[in-house]
Structure 1
Amino acid sequence: MDIILKNVKKEDFPVFQSLAKSLGFEIVEENEKPYNPEFVKEILEAREELKQGKGTKMTLEEIDKLWK
């Protein structure tokens, strides 16, 4: 059985580690990886372009035709 603890404060983590160790549990830390910096840059640039009016407006029908 797996138990996942989220949003554990740094000062509380040693308590969980100690308890798990005393009970013979295995602790696996998985830190969320941040987004790829290039991807974030592209998104921010696209948002800025939209603010400057460089976007293209499409109706739902036009969007629907794109994927068919």
Structure 2
Amino acid sequence: MTTITIKINERSKKGKAFLEFAKTFIGNDKDISFIESEDVEDKSPYNPEFVAEILERSKNLDKKNLTRLNTDDIWGSIL
């Protein structure tokens, strides 16, 4: 069995026409199946927990809730 992946812009005239052609051509054929999948570009490659943490920190930046470091004693101001 061979799998072919085709990326189609379903908003364009050619994309709509190709999808209609493919659906009509395949029909109820048992040997060929047409599988629609979600757009891969919409998936984030980042861990959702990491994204949530970064967004939370950006909210703190907006509220001016920052940690100030003493440049003379960096380790002392961190700990």
User: TM-score, structure 1 length as denominator?
Assistant: 0.40
Larger Rg: 2
